[in-house]
Amino acid sequence: MPHRTVTIASSVGLHARPASVFAREVAATGVPVRIARPGGAPVDAASLLLVMGLALQHGEPVEIAAEGDGADAALDRLAEVLATDLDATA
């Protein structure tokens, strides 16, 4: 299963707005995506509540993984989203 490790760039972590943007991007990929802290239990990245429940902070590394056709392209796009300060783009 393809995966990427990315550092959370949003200045206040993946709180409501950045988590919402990320979850929408995940849903738009059309492939199953999981997100977790390194070594942690992965959750469905398309679920806003599950993503927010991770309480990921600015500068924290996170692992994303996907499976199926288009998984690598989806992960590249999602890594780009996480590496962007989504609070600065509001």
Residue 67 DSSP code: -
Residues marked active site are found at 15
Do residues 64 and 35 lie in contact, with contact meaning Cβ atoms separated by under 8 Å? yes
Domains of the chain in start order, with CATH, are 3-82 (3.30.1340.10)
pLDDT one-digit tens code per residue, 55-73? 999 999 999 999 999 999 9
pLDDT one-digit tens code per residue, 8-47? 999 989 999 999 999 999 999 999 999 999 999 999 999 9
**In sequence order, which ranges of 1-90 are alpha helices (DSSP H)?**
16-29, 48-53, 71-82
